[in-house]
A and B are shown apart, each in its own frame.
Chain A
């Protein structure tokens, strides 16, 4: 970096003037002088006389003032190399005439150039115009300037470095802030939890890329009881993509209120999006509308990846194609229909998985994705395997794009066979009543060991709701909802607290026996160990813990310690 510091006297004649005021400043006009009254005090008269004198001097003296002018020096200008090794201040005539910068300096009256060199690096140039006294620069002047340069150069370099660092810090902060804002926008629109769909199980995984893409997914429960499942991907990254994603999300939601045909939803959203989407940006989007009772599924596609369907051991894709949203007005989207049979698994996914590269540059691709679908035993299993496989595949490689996976698993029979809803006051001991009433619904669906596990998990959850959620206030009730389908027993226990009270330590018996942990603190541990899945969410002012136990015969492969969060990504 080279700073150009230049000062010259601005004078048409070159005549220096030391004390000349700005033209007209402080000098009354002749007309105003004539108009002044005779009764002025002596002081006022003296002041007026000084003003007149100054005005006369201004009229006769040349205009002169110092100013900084700006000359850009091209980094390749030979002047820079020349000055790097220059012995000290130099007359303009001693500089290489073939330098464009020297030409420009001559044009602007520069007479003396002082290179500012520190640690062998030219960090600035001090360019001076003619002396105000009209004399040439003396040897003493040059010595003084040389001395000045020796002190000024390192100070200037220090200032430059600080300025560079501050700029870099500001740039980094701005980029980080932008990414943070984009992530906040994007995650604001992802579902906090997935709805419980009788006899169906939804699993989802989303992990943003470092630079934030525009993936989104949504589950919309329609007024007619069907469910709309949406996945999409906005091209581009950062805040613009996040804003388009938010806009698309809102348009899809509002359109779903009045139109449930997937093709028509896409058509309308496309028309609404086109006027507001930036140039060169578009949105791929897949919409499925599912009848949970029959499995009848209507779907349409706006340029998104084709979903995979696993039936038995066979994997196919749900074929539907259409123009991405936001590209072309008048686009229409063909609607297709299929039936998702009991036991089927459907995977919706973004290109963050298929287009991820490994160290050697190979893409994960559709083949590997289809293989994962073929091997899946459930939606959760599919997502867990996919995340793991992708992690192994792309070890030591940055994630290139957002990764979104939504798995939809239809159980062997849809719908709930039994539902029980009740509440109990928040009094100690009522957790046993909750446990017994839940057991009455679940006992015919679960083998004894799993029924006992559910009973303890329910008892502990209810006790937490009574003691912590509702703080033992008997006027507050603990609500309980039990649903039994062919595949699952789902128990939702609600209170008016702020969430599960996390113990500060994972219970460790060795530490407890050594007196390093309290003997208590086993409740959440038991719940998480004994239930197949534990979720929590808010419903209005209630905090709800949902316990899920599978009733499948094939439960050997179920990891009862499975949590619902995988790596850094969010799993719903």
Chain B
């Protein structure tokens, strides 16, 4: 499995701590994590990328799919722990227009 995750709740925010790679093998894991987070009935889902070391174009497509799903459910998506490189990729793909980039809790 390329991607693992833990879902925790912080008030109205469901935090998904991601570990590993977001690539073609990460689809199911990301989908399960989102479903679990949404089950907490949050207003905000925060994706924590601190322990993600690789995101490729397929991974970007998975994040786009997750974002589309969240927007349909009126859920705000945040991203925490992105490296400067992946922040740059979020900017050039315009994901940062729809996903607020924040520092992870504790930083």
Whether A and B are associated in the same complex: the answer reads yes
| 8 Å CB interface, A502-526 against B | 507, 509-510, 512-513, 515, 518-523, 525-526
Which of A463, A523, A529 contacts B92 (CB under 8 A)? A529
| 8 Å CB interface, B41-68 against A | 54, 56-58, 60-62, 64-65, 67-68
Would you call A515 and B68 a contact (CB within 8 A)? yes
B35 beta carbon closer than 8 Å to chain A: no
Q: Which chain B residue shows the least CB distance to A560?
A: B92
Residues of A within 8 A of B71 (CB): 513
- Given contacts A452-B83, A456-B85, are A509 and B93 in contact (CB under 8 A)? yes
Would you call A456 and B65 a contact (CB within 8 A)? no
Would you call B95 and A509 a contact (CB within 8 A)? yes
Would you call B97 and A526 a contact (CB within 8 A)? no
Residues of A within 8 A of B65 (CB): 519
In the complex, what distance in Å separates the CA atom of A434 from the CA atom of B71?
A: 36
A389 to chain B, nearest CB (A): 30
A432 beta carbon closer than 8 Å to chain B: yes
A459 to chain B, nearest CB (A): 6
A100 beta carbon closer than 8 Å to chain B: no
In the complex, what distance in Å separates the CA atom of A162 from the CA atom of B35?
A: 74
A24 beta carbon closer than 8 Å to chain B: no
The bracket for how many chain A residues form the interface is 20 to 34
Residues of B within 8 A of A521 (CB): 57, 61
A449 beta carbon closer than 8 Å to chain B: yes
Residues of B within 8 A of A191 (CB): none
| 8 Å CB interface, A452-470 against B | 452-453, 456, 459-460, 463
Contact with A along B63-107 (1 / 0, CB 8 A): 011011001000000000001110011001111011000000000
A391 beta carbon closer than 8 Å to chain B: no
In the complex, what distance in Å separates the CA atom of A515 from the CA atom of B24?
A: 20
B24, B84, B92 interface centre (most CB from chain A within 10 Å):
B92
Would you call A428 and B24 a contact (CB within 8 A)? yes
Which of B54, B61, B93, B94 contacts A520 (CB under 8 A)? B61
Residues of A within 8 A of B83 (CB): 452
Contact with B along A258-294 (1 / 0, CB 8 A): 0000000000000000000000000000000000000
Would you call B85 and A452 a contact (CB within 8 A)? yes
Contact with B along A417-451 (1 / 0, CB 8 A): 00000000000100110000000000000001100
Residues of A within 8 A of B56 (CB): 431, 456, 459-460, 463
Would you call B61 and A526 a contact (CB within 8 A)? no
A523 to chain B, nearest CB (A): 4
Q: Which chain A residue shows the least CB distance to B56?
A: A459
B56 to chain A, nearest CB (A): 6
- Given contacts A459-B56, A520-B58, are A513 and B85 in contact (CB under 8 A)? no
In the complex, what distance in Å separates the CA atom of A522 from the CA atom of B24?
A: 13
Would you call A513 and B89 a contact (CB within 8 A)? no
Would you call A449 and B68 a contact (CB within 8 A)? no
Would you call A509 and B98 a contact (CB within 8 A)? yes
B2 to chain A, nearest CB (A): 9
- Given contacts A449-B85, A526-B57, A526-B89, are A519 and B24 in contact (CB under 8 A)? no
Q: Which chain A residue shows the least CB distance to B2?
A: A429
B-side interface residues toward A, CB under 8 Å? 24, 54, 56-58, 60-62, 64-65, 67-68, 71, 83-85, 88-89, 92-95, 97-98
A-side interface residues toward B, CB under 8 Å? 428, 431-432, 448-449, 452-453, 456, 459-460, 463, 507, 509-510, 512-513, 515, 518-523, 525-526, 529
